[in-house]
Structure 1
Amino acid sequence: MTDSRLAIVVLAAGQGTRMRSSTPKLLHQLAGLPILSHVLATSRALGAAHVVTVVRHERDLVAALVAEDLPESLIVDQDEVPGTGRAVELAVAALPADFEGDVLVVSGDVPLLNSATLASFVAAHREREVSATVLSSFPEDSTGYGRIVRSETGGFDRIVEQKDASADERQIAETNAGVYAFGIAELREQLARLTTDNVQGEKYLTDVIGLLRDAGSSVRAVPVADAWLVAGINDRAQLSETARQLNGFIVHGWQLAGVTVQDPATTWIDLKAQLAPDVTILPGTQIRGATVIETGAVIGPDTTLLDCEVGENAVVTRTDATLAVIGAGASVGPFSYLRPGTILGADGKIGAFVETKNATIGAGSKVPHLSYVGDATVGEQSNIGAGTIFANYDGVNKHRSEIGSHVRTGSHNVFVAPIRIGDGAYTGAGTIVRKDVPAGALSLSVAPQRNMDGWVQTNRPGTDAAAAAAKSGD
């Protein structure tokens, strides 16, 4: 449902210098999504009639994300006048002139603040019919935050920044969370009165609160239930802490949905991942991107899956896989590397120290160990011998190999693409296949073995090998 009386302003113009990163702060990843995407998703869930996102630093990158995630959002560019007050001033100016209702201001770097909490906050603002409502919190460490000063009766009095706070005021545990709800008429009036007459030369949104109080308007402060909900991200330490907090909730949710997570502390699951009941996740495992895992599958330990599909009852052990499909009942690992385009059929096997890329391996077929399968198709119920290399690159172009069904290839083969091995064919150990092999044929690299008797005694006299050979009497 659309709330015709609600507009949301998302502040996304900051530079985020404390991240010390070439990537804009709001585009850093959190549970598989950019930080800002979490805030935009929450804004969408609130059903506001209008969403305005204010951008500036790395404008084109941030605006592109907004256009993709929330195309209905207006994008407003902050000008040369700095400060959150100026950002909100420009956002409000972009709203329809006839809009009457409330403006909710949120920060693009506060990703855990969910729609339920914000909906309750807006309801509390409307319930008292006040000019503004400030969301507050009680963090474990209030250093650096503006304090909420209350009157003797417990009502909101003012916000005092730490640098301006007295010794007693710095002892106040309640802090400003930087989330506000305003009546549009009062907000427009006070934004017009903001100045840059301060040490930083910025227009501060918190000054609007002071102006409203000076004008005799009522302002309310509503504490949030848990301080972590309004934790902002300013540096990489805070990013990792927020990621840990969010991941804990994600893992816990999947546990309640019937997924066994043996060690939540070492398991990471992105928001877009989908897990069926009775999936088992072993320690040291990352389920990233839009990975889908069906019931009965066992993943891990020490496994990373990115945008993969895993079928029922498959087992994936100590494997790194990206954009791969693993069929029902299949087995992968340990120490396998599945690159994009890998498709393993039902009951198939990709074994120890095997790398695959752009390869389709049919149902029941096996690549047990120590092999590279690139740009290839393997039919059903075939076995690729240990140490096999699909030589798919000629130095200029990639070529494909086609291996039929019920094929048995020997150890230490090299398939020089493009080649085709027909159904039911065999290849001998050490074979280099440069030409197509007909169905049912045996392919061999014929090179007679030559033994040179006495070579060691003649060419390596006095060595341990020569002595051993002489002693053996063979």
Structure 2
Amino acid sequence: MSTRNTIILAAGKGTRMKSKLYKVLHKVCGRSMVDHVLTQVEKTHMNQIVTVVGYGAEEVEETLGNRTKYVLQKEQLGTGHAVLQTEPLLKDEDGMTLVVSGDTPLFRAETFEKLFQYHEAKKAVATILTSKAPDPTGYGRIVRNDIGIVEKIVEQKDATKQEQEINEINTGVYVFDNKALFAALHKTTNDNAQGEYYLTDVIQILKEQGDIVAAYRMPSFEESMGVNDRVALSKATKVMQRRINEYHMNNGVTLINPEDTYIDVNIKIGADTIIEPGVLLKGKTVIGDNCHIGAHSELHDTVLHDNVTVTSSYLEDSEMEDGSNIGPMSHLRPDSHIGKNVHLGNFVEVKKATIDEGTKVGHLTYVGNAHLGKRINVGCGVVFVNYDGAHKHETTVGDDAFIGSNSNLIAPLTVADHSFIAAGSTITDEVAQYDMAIARARQTNKAGYFKKLPYDPEK
């Protein structure tokens, strides 16, 4: 197999995005567009990958790291000029070079592989990746002769009426014999309306030299979808989301309504998990087998073990172990660790806390900066008071303790195993094992006092 190289074009500013974020760094299902391209390129076993950067170069390099080499296109003088910037790194390479844009996140590695194979089979010097577009408006057209050989690429603005009726379009992806590519680039000129050096001119130069120029037409037009504005970004996201959702369904996950389920590209989901409509799974979330994610739940960078139930809740950067459940309307904030068979009911917020096996936190409770042991019962309206206005403090509650409803636990605090907090207490001091703590004012009833009050139930 011939040596393979890739040039990723990622130097354009992307003014139509109307964004301060560099165009190729806009995300499609949790991964930047240029990262999508690089990920697929990597699967085709390249000798060298070079990314051409311009605007936002530092951000691109930070995103992609050392997975690719970089060259800087200081002035945006066209696609041909961009490719020419890679010459110091690639000019002496034998074999083939793939050229692809960094704003085409839907291409698959299989398509690149077939393009390489077609190029070699045709013994071509250049091979254009083409597709048939339902609406070719705006795309360069592939003009073939009577026996199917590529004659030229004609841009929309230069096409005759007959040429505009052609629906085979240039996707902007090419494979070149590497040395022929750079030799032809030096023959291009900027004698055009834009004053730029076009990569498409290389095709015409090679044709005039008598070199073989082939065109491989891929079956799927949607792969070639480029992203130049927010509308196209949403369309690409929709296509990618469909792929991701179908992948998970084909691997044993039930999506009740796939069209209303958002799953980022890096998410992992175990078999027999059921996901209801309106769910968003983002970041590096991992979900085990036989889980149930209820409608309108949102999970960010969260790990769920097997048999976990999440009901209409928001989880971020946390972990729930086997058999635990949460919700509805509860919130796991970062660094929360929920043990096996823990029950977190409705309107429970947990932040930077560990709750061990079998503990129940029923409802309307805040647990912050705390470690709760096993088999604890936490009543309604309990607050772990962790902040003194300057610093956060921790509370520890031992195994088999009971925290009565409407209690406040003022940190720093330790509540020992098998201890009992009476309802309505505000606890500030350590509670020893087997003790019951009561910290509330004694009730006083004033006989007949109702009649002395200004309250009138009839008003």
1:78 maps to: 73
Q: Which moved further from structure 2: 22-31 or 124-133?
A: 22-31
Query: 174, 177, 197: which is aligned to 1:180?
Result: 174
Q: CA deviation at 1:310?
A: 1.0
Conservation of the 8 A alpha-carbon contact between 2:426 and 2:440: no
Report whether the alignment pairs 1:26 with 2:24. Answer: yes
Q: How far, CA to CA, are the matches of 2:61 and 2:339 in structure 1?
A: 41
Conservation of the 8 A alpha-carbon contact between 1:456 and 1:465: no
1:85-124 per-residue CA deviation (whole Å, 9 max, x = no partner) reads: 0111111332152x11111101111111111110110110
Q: CA deviation at 1:396?
A: 0.9
Report whether the alignment pairs 1:126 with 2:124. Answer: no
Q: After the TM superposition, which residues 136-215 of structure 1 pair with which residues of structure 2 at under 5 Å, given as runs?
A: 136-215=130-209
Conservation of the 8 A alpha-carbon contact between 1:81 and 1:203: no
Conservation of the 8 A alpha-carbon contact between 2:12 and 2:76: no
2:83 maps to: 88
Query: 345, 361, 365: which is aligned to 1:367?
Result: 361
Runs of 4+ in structure 1 off by over 4 angstroms are none
Q: Which moved further from structure 2: 301-310 or 209-218?
A: 209-218
Report whether the alignment pairs 1:108 with 2:108. Answer: no
1:300 maps to: 294
Query: 316, 319, 327: which is aligned to 1:322?
Result: 316
Q: CA deviation at 1:12?
A: 0.8
Q: CA deviation at 1:452?
A: 2.8
Task: Provide closer, same or farther for how the CA distance between residues 81 and 237 of structure 1 changes in structure 2, counting only shifts above 3 A.
Answer: closer
Task: Provide closer, same or farther for how the CA distance between residues 446 and 52 of structure 1 changes in structure 2, counting only shifts above 3 A.
Answer: closer
Q: How far, CA to CA, are the matches of 2:72 and 2:131 in structure 1?
A: 30
Q: Which amino acid counterpart does residue 43 of structure 1 have in structure 2?
A: V
Task: Provide closer, same or farther for how the CA distance between residues 460 and 146 of structure 1 changes in structure 2, counting only shifts above 3 A.
Answer: same
Q: CA deviation at 1:32?
A: 1.8
2:450 maps to: 456
Q: CA deviation at 1:57?
A: 0.8
Q: How far, CA to CA, are the matches of 1:6 and 1:464 in structure 2?
A: 86
Query: 252, 256, 274: which is aligned to 2:268?
Result: 274
Q: CA deviation at 1:206?
A: 0.8
1:65-94 per-residue CA deviation (whole Å, 9 max, x = no partner) reads: 2225x1xx2210012251110111111332
Query: 48, 68, 72: which is aligned to 2:46?
Result: 48
Partner SS, residue 242 of structure 2: helix
Conservation of the 8 A alpha-carbon contact between 1:4 and 1:49: no
After TM superposition, the score normalised by the length of structure 2 is 0.97
Q: How far, CA to CA, are the matches of 2:198 and 2:277 in structure 1?
A: 47
Report whether the alignment pairs 1:58 with 2:56. Answer: yes
1:8 maps to: 6
Q: How far, CA to CA, are the matches of 1:157 and 1:4 in structure 2?
A: 27
Q: How far, CA to CA, are the matches of 1:85 and 1:243 in structure 2?
A: 29
Q: Which amino acid counterpart does residue 71 of structure 2 have in structure 1?
A: V
Partner SS, residue 400 of structure 2: coil
Q: CA deviation at 1:199?
A: 1.6
Q: How far, CA to CA, are the matches of 2:180 and 2:287 in structure 1?
A: 52
Conservation of the 8 A alpha-carbon contact between 1:54 and 1:77: yes
Conservation of the 8 A alpha-carbon contact between 2:424 and 2:440: no
Q: How far, CA to CA, are the matches of 1:313 and 1:96 in structure 2?
A: 56
1:182-214 per-residue CA deviation (whole Å, 9 max, x = no partner) reads: 112321221001122222121111111122222
Q: CA deviation at 1:337?
A: 0.7
After TM superposition, the score normalised by the length of structure 1 is 0.94
Partner SS, residue 189 of structure 1: helix
The number of equivalent residue pairs is: 459
Conservation of the 8 A alpha-carbon contact between 1:4 and 1:48: no
Q: Which runs of 5+ in 2 are unaligned?
A: none
Q: CA deviation at 1:271?
A: 2.0
Q: How far, CA to CA, are the matches of 2:192 and 2:225 in structure 1?
A: 27
1:291-318 per-residue CA deviation (whole Å, 9 max, x = no partner) reads: 2211111111111111111122111110
Q: Which amino acid counterpart does residue 60 of structure 1 have in structure 2?
A: E
Query: What is the CA RMSD across the aligned residues, in angstroms?
Result: 1.5
Q: After the TM superposition, which residues 334-413 of structure 1 pair with which residues of structure 2 at under 5 Å, given as runs?
A: 334-413=328-407
1:394-431 per-residue CA deviation (whole Å, 9 max, x = no partner) reads: 11111111011111111111111110111111111111
Q: Which amino acid counterpart does residue 330 of structure 2 have in structure 1?
A: S
Query: 281, 289, 302: which is aligned to 2:283?
Result: 289
Q: CA deviation at 1:228?
A: 0.7
Q: CA deviation at 1:254?
A: 1.4
Q: Which amino acid counterpart does residue 280 of structure 2 have in structure 1?
A: Q
Q: How far, CA to CA, are the matches of 1:365 and 1:282 in structure 2?
A: 27
Q: How far, CA to CA, are the matches of 1:133 and 1:24 in structure 2?
A: 30
Q: How far, CA to CA, are the matches of 2:300 and 2:443 in structure 1?
A: 47
Q: Which amino acid counterpart does residue 80 of structure 1 have in structure 2?
A: E
Partner SS, residue 65 of structure 1: helix
1:239 maps to: 233
Partner SS, residue 464 of structure 1: coil
Q: CA deviation at 1:218?
A: 2.1
Q: Which amino acid counterpart does residue 86 of structure 2 have in structure 1?
A: A
Q: How far, CA to CA, are the matches of 1:446 and 1:148 in structure 2?
A: 84
Partner SS, residue 370 of structure 1: strand
Conservation of the 8 A alpha-carbon contact between 2:91 and 2:179: no
Q: CA deviation at 1:11?
A: 0.5
Q: CA deviation at 1:328?
A: 0.7
1:34-84 per-residue CA deviation (whole Å, 9 max, x = no partner) reads: 11111111121111111111001111001222225x1xx221001225111
1:123-162 per-residue CA deviation (whole Å, 9 max, x = no partner) reads: 1011111121111111222111111111122211111111
Conservation of the 8 A alpha-carbon contact between 1:432 and 1:445: yes
Q: CA deviation at 1:465?
A: 5.9
Q: Which amino acid counterpart does residue 218 of structure 2 have in structure 1?
A: V
Query: 436, 439, 448: which is aligned to 2:433?
Result: 439
Q: How far, CA to CA, are the matches of 1:205 and 1:265 in structure 2?
A: 39
Query: Percent of aligned positions with the same letter in both sequences?
Result: 36
Q: How far, CA to CA, are the matches of 2:365 and 2:128 in structure 1?
A: 62
